[in-house]
């Protein structure tokens, strides 16, 4: 279920458990270990002493004491030598064992630092890749929210390496849309490796269909919407009539049966709402509800609110997450946004990034979120909305 990248000090993250990158003695140290011990108070050291130690790749659990979390899970990452000493497997088992321990203690949310990526010398981008793969594998079958916390730019290496194909092409796409150039110094980067699996564009995509870009940012009703409208809302014998455009405002009399009938006829144009369309799309894709909210990186409770509370209005990032999870086309996504009262705006960097991926035939939500994160944008899907 939800996997989120956040930039923060892990001792401030509100999660049921936070994970500590400890050493085998468990008695504290520098880096994130030091920060966690300082924030938790001396009781944490006593609890760790009572446990007696932890082997590399394994995990143990203590209360959170003065931290805002219920638990601290301590795991010992491998010291990086050259990548040929089982470091990757050991690092993956840190994440897996910590997650299993969190699950066994009923945690619904867990926050991880980039284990081994500091004092223990694991290359940051490779460490992030192992974290991502292991966490996503675990979440395939679990209802849990996992945060991967990036503390400082050093942990994710600042930008020069970002001048690779993918980032360049996204930047070109954004620049092409006329938004202000991005301050590259502020970006965090996971170098190219973290974006593995993405086809690289040799050039920025263009508006290949030749359609004019909506100057107002207002969504253009898609063909699909129009077809749906024609088939389901308008009676077959009722030609679609243009809204009258009178030179002077025509009087509307509430006591006039004729005027009310005209208004009623007009209101028949109302499209199916977002919720109905969402359920229909899920059926069309042959997905279950659970598959849908998993692929959308969305909390089950948020999905259930959308499904069961007709008045609930999901946020735009939730709507976009569902569109990405359902692998909708750009037109279909615009249509869904429209039904929820939103649009894709060419003056929004986040919207352009999502649009970029949709134009390339979509992508999994985690990859899109990694790119949004690298560009300091709000991520899609979350436990919060
Ligand atoms: N919040 C989140 N992440 C943090 C924080 C923090 N407050 N402080 C540091 N980090 C990040 C670092 O930037 C790094 O990316 O945590 C990652 C792990 O770095 P380390 O804390 O150095 O952990 P690790 O590389 O696993 O080394 C473990 O360091 O001091 C110790 O006792 C510990 O000996 C053990 C070793």
C-alpha to C-alpha distance for 214 and 355, rounded to whole angstroms: 13
Mutate which of 26, 118, 123 for ligand 1? The one with the most ligand atoms within 8 Å of its CB, which is 118
pLDDT of residue 96: 98
| 213 and 340 co-located in one domain | no
Three-state secondary structure call for residue 259: helix
Do the domain assignments include residue 110? yes
Taking 90 as the threshold, does the pLDDT of residue 13 lie above it?
yes
C-alpha to C-alpha distance for 333 and 228, rounded to whole angstroms: 15
Do the domain assignments include residue 174? no
Do the domain assignments include residue 41? yes
Q: Ligand 1 centroid vs 113 CA: distance in angstroms?
A: 7
Q: Which atom of ligand 1 is nearest to the CA of 28?
A: 32
Q: Ligand 1 centroid vs 22 CA: distance in angstroms?
A: 8
| 56 and 146 co-located in one domain | yes
CATH number of the CATH domain containing 124:
3.40.220.10
| 42 and 151 co-located in one domain | yes
Q: What is the mean pLDDT of residues 230-259?
A: 62
Asked whether 23 lines ligand 1 (CB < 6 A), one says yes
For the stretch 203-241, pLDDT in tens is: 222 333 333 333 333 333 333 433 433 343 333 444 555
Q: Ligand 1 centroid vs 12 CA: distance in angstroms?
A: 15
pLDDT of residue 165: 47
Q: What is the mean pLDDT of residues 320-346?
A: 94
| 23 and 96 co-located in one domain | yes
| 71 and 195 co-located in one domain | no
pLDDT of residue 246: 55
Q: Ligand 1 centroid vs 157 CA: distance in angstroms?
A: 15
Asked whether 10 lines ligand 1 (CB < 6 A), one says yes
Nearest CA to ligand 1 atom 29: 119
Q: Which atom of ligand 1 is nearest to the CA of 154?
A: 13
Nearest CA to ligand 1 atom 30: 30
pLDDT of residue 249: 67
pLDDT of residue 237: 47
The residues that bridge with 60 in the sheet, in sequence order, are: 74
Do the domain assignments include residue 243? no
For the stretch 361-379, pLDDT in tens is: 888 999 999 899 988 899 9
Taking 90 as the threshold, does the pLDDT of residue 270 lie above it?
no
Name the residue with tokens 């050991």.
90
Enumerate the active-site residues. 33
Taking 60 as the threshold, does the pLDDT of residue 156 lie above it?
no
Do the domain assignments include residue 188? yes
C-alpha to C-alpha distance for 37 and 311, rounded to whole angstroms: 45
Taking 50 as the threshold, does the pLDDT of residue 200 lie above it?
no
Which domain covers residue 197, as residue numbers?
184-232
Q: Which atom of ligand 1 is nearest to the CA of 21?
A: 26
Least confident of 196-205, 290-299, 320-329: 196-205
| 24 and 73 co-located in one domain | yes
Pick from 170, 198, 232: which residue ends a domain?
A: 232
- pTM for the whole structure: 0.67
| 72 and 121 co-located in one domain | yes
Q: Ligand 1 centroid vs 323 CA: distance in angstroms?
A: 36
Q: Give me the DSSP letters along 131-187.
A: HHHHHHHHHTT---EEEEEE-SHHHH-BGGGG-SHHHHHHHHHHHHTTPPPP-GGG-
C-alpha to C-alpha distance for 3 and 109, rounded to whole angstroms: 10
Q: Which atom of ligand 1 is nearest to the CA of 127?
A: 15
Q: Which atom of ligand 1 is nearest to the CA of 155?
A: 15
Do the domain assignments include residue 247? no
- N- to C-terminal Cα separation, the chain: 14
Mutate which of 21, 150, 153 for ligand 1? The one with the most ligand atoms within 8 Å of its CB, which is 21
Q: Ligand 1 centroid vs 120 CA: distance in angstroms?
A: 8
| 27 and 100 co-located in one domain | yes
Asked whether 31 lines ligand 1 (CB < 6 A), one says yes
Asked whether 117 lines ligand 1 (CB < 6 A), one says yes
Q: Which atom of ligand 1 is nearest to the CA of 34?
A: 30
Work out the pLDDT band at 179, boundaries 50, 70, 90.
Answer: very low
Task: Look at the chain and report how many structural domains it folds into.
Answer: 3
Taking 70 as the threshold, does the pLDDT of residue 271 lie above it?
no
| 109 and 210 co-located in one domain | no
Q: Ligand 1 centroid vs 116 CA: distance in angstroms?
A: 7
Cβ-defined contacts of 219-224 (< 8 Å, 24+) = 219/334, 219/335, 219/337, 219/338, 219/343, 219/344, 220/334, 221/335, 221/338, 222/331, 222/332, 222/334, 222/335, 223/331, 224/331, 224/332, 224/335
| 38 and 100 co-located in one domain | yes
Asked whether 77 lines ligand 1 (CB < 6 A), one says yes
Do the domain assignments include residue 55? yes
Asked whether 118 lines ligand 1 (CB < 6 A), one says yes
Q: Ligand 1 centroid vs 75 CA: distance in angstroms?
A: 11
pLDDT of residue 259: 87
Contact of 328 with 281, CB cutoff 8 Å: yes
CATH number of the CATH domain containing 369:
1.10.260
| 34 and 136 co-located in one domain | yes
| 46 and 83 co-located in one domain | yes
Mutate which of 9, 113, 128, 188 for ligand 1? The one with the most ligand atoms within 8 Å of its CB, which is 113
Taking 70 as the threshold, does the pLDDT of residue 321 lie above it?
yes
Do the domain assignments include residue 237? no
């Amino acid at each position: 279920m939800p996997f989120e990248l956040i930039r923060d000090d892990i001792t401030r993250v509100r999660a049921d458990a936070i994970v500590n990158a400890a050493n085998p003695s468990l008695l504290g140290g520098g880096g994130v270990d030091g920060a966690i011990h300082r924030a938790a108070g001396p009781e944490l050291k006593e609890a760790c002493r009572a446990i007696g130690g932890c082997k590399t790749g394994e995990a143990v659990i203590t209360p959170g004491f003065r931290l805002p979390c219920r638990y601290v899970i301590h795991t010992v990452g491998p010291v990086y030598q050259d990548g040929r000493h089982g470091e990757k497997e050991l690092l993956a088992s840190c994440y897996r064992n910590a997650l299993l321990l969190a699950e066994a203690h009923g945690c619904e949310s867990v926050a991880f630092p980039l284990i081994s990526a500091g004092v223990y010398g694991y290359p940051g981008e490779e460490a992030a890749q192992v974290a991502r793969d292991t966490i996503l594998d675990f979440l395939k079958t679990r209802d849990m929210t996992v945060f991967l916390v990036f503390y400082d730019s050093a942990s994710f290496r600042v930008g020069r390496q970002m001048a690779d194909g993918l980032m360049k092409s996204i930047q070109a796409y954004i620049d092409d849309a006329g938004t202000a150039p991005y301050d590259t110094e502020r970006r965090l980067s996971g170098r190219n490796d973290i974006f593995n699996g993405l086809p690289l564009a040799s050039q920025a995509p263009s508006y290949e269909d030749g359609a004019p870009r909506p100057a107002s940012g207002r969504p253009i009703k898609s063909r699909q919407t129009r077809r749906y409208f024609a088939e389901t809302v308008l009676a077959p014998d009722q030609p679609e009539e243009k809204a009258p455009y009178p030179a002077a405002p025509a009087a509307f009399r509430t006591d006039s049966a004729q005027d009310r009938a005209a208004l009623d006829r007009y209101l028949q144009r109302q499209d199916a709402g977002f919720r109905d369309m969402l359920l229909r799309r899920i059926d069309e894709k042959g997905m279950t509800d659970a598959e849908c909210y998993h692929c959308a990186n969305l909390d089950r409770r948020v999905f259930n609110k959308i499904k069961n509370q007709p008045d609930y209005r999901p946020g735009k990032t939730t709507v976009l997450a569902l569109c990405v999870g359902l692998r909708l086309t750009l037109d279909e996504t615009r249509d869904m946004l429209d039904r929820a009262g939103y649009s894709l705006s060419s003056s929004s960097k986040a919207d352009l990034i999502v649009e970029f991926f949709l134009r390339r035939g979509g992508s999994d939500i985690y990859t899109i979120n990694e790119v949004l994160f690298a560009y300091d944008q709000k991520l899609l899907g979350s436990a919060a909305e």
